[in-house]
Amino acid sequence: MGAASDEGNDRRFAAYAQELAGSFGHADREEPMREYCLGLLMPLDRKSVEPMAAVLAPSEAAAKHQSMLHFVGNAPWSDAAVLAKVRAMVLPQIERSGPIEAWIIDDTGFPKKGIHSVGVARQYCGQLGKQDNCQVAVSLSIANHAASLPIAYQLYLPEDWAGDVERRRKAKVPDHVTFKTKPQIALDQIEEALATGVSKGVVLADAGYGNDMKFRTGVTALGLTYVAGIGPATTVWGPGTGPLPPPEYSGRGQPARRLRRDAEYQPLAVKALAQSLQPEAWQTIAWREATSDWLSSRFARLRVRPAHRDHLRTEPWPEEWLIIEWPEDEEEPTKYWLSTLPADIAFNVLVDTAKLRWRIERDYQELKQELGLGHYEGRGWRGFHHHATLCIAAYGFLISERSAFPPSGSASSTLFPKPAVPIGYKPRGSANKAGTTYSELDRDDAQETRRRRHHRTTTMSML
């Protein structure tokens, strides 16, 4: 059964790669694309170019290494075209479980030791949970409750990088790339997805985006609804309240048009509003079945008006839902969202939609741990994006496999066996007598990958 399964995997992957190949522009890119994606799918601890080349072509590793380096780092194929093709191929598989429900915005960080890789700066890195030297990329994923797929992916270029002519030249950053905040990059990705006819969904984002009023109003201006995280200090007008109207016209000069506040009449921070609610305002709601039970927590929801700089406006902001999560075992609320979903939406549906953002965490977990998203060692703009695009293409194949064989569960690189490598082969960055040059994070990722792979070997044999 194992041999037949391997043959089936090979056959389906070959068909997937052949269909994908047309988006790379030249026929001679099909073989390196197929080999690169195959390397990403193999059970390797490190999925940078050199170790992948060694297992794909043990007898000619150096030549394969150079060929793959050129393909990922220099070849001028279009990331957008490839991602569009991956979406077209994989979307029907995702929609077998239902229509697209959400567009999920997020970013992910990649710790870096040096300062020369494109976009590296000291900034918040979610993988480390703190400020550190890293690269950060912004992505847009389409999702339903069964699966999700990144469809846009762009490196965030910090302002000091964007204005540094010499560093831009060395990293070959395209001239059209200028400094943009992460919410601005996200809005560009959303606008492009709309322009290309991607199936619409509710935009989901965490507080890194939801705290930006321009992001939220930008989503609304594009005709989409959202559920966006906000911070506890965000101010709103509670139910039935709003800013004061302009003062009555005195008969002299131009009539006042702007809304008002005064010393006593002010909006509330959402944390203060949450803490003022009566016990009956809270409901326990379950939103997703986990391994052993349903996930549930305590929530409240209110119709509120955002208060952001409304004293400079002539009309109040429209009403939105404020959703608050306050688990019973916590001393204070833990999460807040604003949402433009309809006023008559059921409470459990509202919570379920907000919580669907968890799918992006699954995307990044598998892209990093299983497919080596953070393992690229080049320094240039093109290579950074090409590697990510190929990781997403390989991930698309795993999603297709999962959809075709529902019992298979999570993705796993055990779909393809690891070939032999030359005796004595030791890639750059491998262990030496003094230990290893991998970072502690790399070792943790490798251990987690091996653990997950061992745990799922029996499951994946069903393929």
Q: What is the pLDDT of residues 271-310, one digit of tens each?
A: 999 999 999 999 999 998 766 678 999 999 999 999 999 9
Binned at pLDDT 50, 70 and 90, residue 403 comes out as confident
pLDDT of residue 345: 98
Q: Which comes out higher in pLDDT, residue 72 or 262?
A: 72
DSSP assignment of 49-76: HHHHHHHH-GGGHHHHHHHHHHHHHT--
pLDDT of residue 343: 97
What does the buried/exposed string (b/e) look like for 407-424 if buried means 16 or more CB atoms within 10 Å of the residue's CB?
ebeebbbbbbeeeebeee
Asked whether the beta carbons of 83 and 125 are under 8 A apart, the reply is no
Mean pLDDT of 353-359: 94
Binned at pLDDT 50, 70 and 90, residue 448 comes out as very low
Establish if 211 belongs to a structural domain.
Answer: no
Same domain for 121 and 228? no
Mean pLDDT of 420-443: 43
Chain-centroid distance of CA 263 in Å reads: 42
The last residue of a domain, from among 324, 353, 382: 353
Same domain for 349 and 373? no
Same domain for 304 and 438? no
Asked whether the beta carbons of 215 and 209 are under 8 A apart, the reply is yes
Residue-range definition of the domain harbouring residue 296: 224-240+266-353
Chain-centroid distance of CA 269 in Å reads: 29
First to last CA, the chain: 9
Quick: pLDDT tens for 368-396: 999 999 999 999 999 999 999 999 999 99
Nearest to 461 by CA among 416, 418, 399: 416
pLDDT of residue 458: 32
Q: Label the pairing between strands 202-205 and 102-111.
A: parallel
Q: Whole-prediction pTM value?
A: 0.86
Q: Does the pLDDT of residue 342 top 80, yes or no?
A: yes
Say how far apart CA 339 and CA 236 lie, in whole Å. 13
Same domain for 191 and 125? yes
Mean model confidence pLDDT for the chain: 87
Same domain for 349 and 437? no
Give me the number of domains the chain comprises: 2
Establish if 258 belongs to a structural domain.
Answer: no
Chain-centroid distance of CA 248 in Å reads: 50
Q: Does the pLDDT of residue 460 top 70, yes or no?
A: no
The last residue of a domain, from among 337, 353, 369: 353
272 three-class SS: helix
Quick: pLDDT tens for 203-252: 999 999 999 999 999 999 999 999 999 999 999 999 999 999 988 877 78
Binned at pLDDT 50, 70 and 90, residue 82 comes out as very high
Helices (H), 95-223: 159-162, 165-171, 182-195, 207-210, 213-221
Phi, psi (5° rounding) for residue 226?
Answer: -145, 160
Binned at pLDDT 50, 70 and 90, residue 430 comes out as very low
Binned at pLDDT 50, 70 and 90, residue 416 comes out as low
Token readout for 53 is 């080349």
The last residue of a domain, from among 305, 329, 353: 353
E strand or H helix that includes residue 191: helix 182-195
Token readout for 423 is 């005796």
Same domain for 343 and 403? no
Chain-centroid distance of CA 205 in Å reads: 10
